[in-house]
């Protein structure tokens, strides 16, 4: 059972207030853009979720205003249909130009300096302690959901799976809603289909997150399959290796490793609560507090340098004790930013990627209409789940989609339902020509999906 959220008037933000749209990223949750708010005079992030879960997320995030939780300014809203009945909603949030802990480790080709790692561990614990005090389970704590301010302070984000609990902190029957999260950060009990997430879920995830922060690595990198991770974590009780960390003579690291191990124990009743974790991380960070300014300056200088994505002394190589062998560098995907162009809201002709169309069309393999048709047919299930700019694509197909069908598509509440109707009413009925045109529109608006499925 979910607790009733406090009533408050939510600020609505429309297209008339936003300009200079830029795409930031895309994932299973939806799409994220940045835009300039004309009246406020600064950039904001707009998250367009795939379902109404994102709207609940915004309400939760508004409810938990806190130093280490990403700030929500309001709800983005615009009409999708000519009748004005169907609305597209998004979450207007702080824009974190520095990215996330995940992107930081990618940019540094390894973990951050020790003092920054200890500060991040403490700030995440502070943010999670606050959420749990408000009886909220985050349920998707991982490096990509810990965003970074200009000064590399942590902000907890992506509450798409969060639920409000009605029970007390000590209740063993605490329930929060459906299970979710990224499976490499899920506790062993969460692999049970009947599991209902509670605060202990986040404690386990925090332990895995700590390991990732101090090593700069993804847990279980050789395992990508859900069932294999379940076998390792739930059935065999395996956890990320700590042997190399335990050999390092870094002040406070032994205690931090001990903390992460207590967080990821199999028995959820034996995991510490965040109010206890917070006291430990505060003490551990105090041992490195005097070095934090130099560490942040060092990292920022590296990030802002022309070769900021190349391996440097800022990363793991500067943290090894003399006896430890060098760590391997992580591969990094680099994307060239385009020259300035006029930006629009996501359903008004904006390209979904930071590529110019010419940049990928010139290098892409030429495909026949038959090959495009096969791509659209073979990837039907995935495209229904992953395509978000359905109305924009339908606009691109205006010569093949009659106005009545377009309005029906726009009126659907979720992008999945819009895609199902587009397939049934247009793609399946017209055939090869429209499927080829759909492929071309998909490549313009969702380049990453075409690339993901191997046709770029």
Task: Find the catalytic residue in 15, 43, 52, 140.
Answer: 140
Closest CA to 377 of 418, 419, 428: 428
Whether the Cβ atoms of residue 54 and residue 91 lie closer than 8 Å to each other: yes
Closest CA to 103 of 244, 235, 212, 229: 212
Closest CA to 48 of 431, 347, 401, 442: 347
Whether the Cβ atoms of residue 275 and residue 202 lie closer than 8 Å to each other: no
Buried b (16+ CB within 10 A) or exposed e, 37-69: beeeeeebbbbbbbeebbebbbbbbbbbebebb
Residue 11 has what DSSP assignment? P
9 annotated to bind ligand: no
Structure tokens at 57: 């997320």
Residue 214 and residue 386: Cα distance in Å, rounded?
Answer: 33
Catalytic residue status for 140: yes
Residue 299 and residue 314: Cα distance in Å, rounded?
Answer: 6
Q: Work out the number of other CB atoms within 10 angstroms of the CB of residue 420.
A: 16
Q: Is 431 exposed, middle or buried (0-12, 13-18, 19+ CB in 10 A)?
A: exposed
CB neighbour list of residue 19: distance below 8 Å, 6 or more residues apart? 35, 36, 38, 343
Query: 91 forms bridges with which residues in the sheet?
Result: 47, 75
**Angle, vertex CA 167, rays to CA 166 and CA 172, nearest 5:** 140
Active site members: 140
Binding residues for ATP: 47
Binding residues: 47
């Amino acid at each position: 059972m979910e607790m009733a959220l406090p009533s408050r008037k939510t600020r609505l933000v429309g297209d008339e207030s936003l300009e200079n749209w830029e795409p930031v990223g895309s994932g299973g949750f939806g799409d994220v853009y940045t835009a300039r708010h004309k009246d406020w005079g600064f950039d904001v992030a707009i998250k367009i979720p795939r379902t109404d879960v994102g709207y609940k997320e915004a309400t939760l995030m508004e409810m938990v205003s806190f130093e280490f939780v990403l700030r929500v300014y309001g709800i983005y809203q615009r009409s999708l249909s000519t009748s004005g009945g169907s609305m597209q909603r998004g979450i207007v949030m702080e824009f974190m130009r520095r990215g996330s802990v995940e992107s930081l480790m990618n940019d540094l080709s390894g973990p951050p300096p020790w003092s920054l790692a200890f500060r991040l561990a403490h700030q995440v614990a502070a943010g999670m302690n606050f959420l749990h005090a408000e009886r909220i389970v985050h349920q998707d704590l991982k490096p990509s959901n810990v965003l970074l301010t200009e000064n590399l302070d942590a902000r907890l984000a992506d509450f798409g799976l969060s639920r409000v609990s009605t029970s007390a902190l000590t209740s063993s029957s605490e329930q929060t809603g459906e299970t979710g999260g990224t499976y490499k950060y899920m506790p062993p009990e969460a692999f049970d289909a009947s599991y209902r997430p509670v605060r202990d879920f986040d404690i386990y995830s925090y332990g895995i997150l700590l390991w990732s922060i101090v090593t700069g690595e993804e847990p279980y990198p050789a395992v990508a399959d859900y069932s294999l991770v379940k076998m390792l974590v739930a059935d065999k009780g395996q956890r990320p290796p700590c042997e190399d960390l335990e050999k390092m003579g870094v002040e406070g690291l032994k205690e931090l490793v001990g903390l992460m191990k207590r967080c990821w124990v199999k028995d959820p009743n034996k995991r510490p609560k965040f109010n206890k974790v917070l006291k430990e991380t505060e003490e551990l960070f105090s041992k490195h507090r005097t070095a934090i300014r130099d560490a942040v300056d060092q990292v920022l200088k590296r990030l802002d340098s022309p070769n900021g994505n190349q391996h440097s002394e800022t990363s793991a190589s500067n943290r090894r004790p003399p006896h430890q062998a060098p760590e391997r560098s992580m591969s990094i995907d680099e994307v060239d930013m385009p020259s300035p162009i006029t930006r629009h809201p996501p359903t008004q002709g904006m390209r979904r990627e930071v590529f110019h169309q010419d940049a990928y069309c010139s290098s892409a393999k030429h495909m026949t209409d038959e090959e495009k048709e096969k791509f659209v047919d073979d990837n039907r299930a995935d495209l229904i789940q992953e395509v978000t700019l359905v109305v924009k694509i339908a606009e691109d197909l205006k010569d093949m989609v009659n106005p009545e069908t377009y309005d029906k598509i726009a009126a659907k509440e979720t992008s999945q339902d819009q895609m199902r109707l587009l397939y049934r009413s247009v793609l399946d009925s017209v055939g090869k020509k429209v499927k080829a045109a759909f492929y071309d529109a998909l490549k313009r608006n969702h380049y990453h999906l075409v690339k993901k499925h191997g046709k770029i």
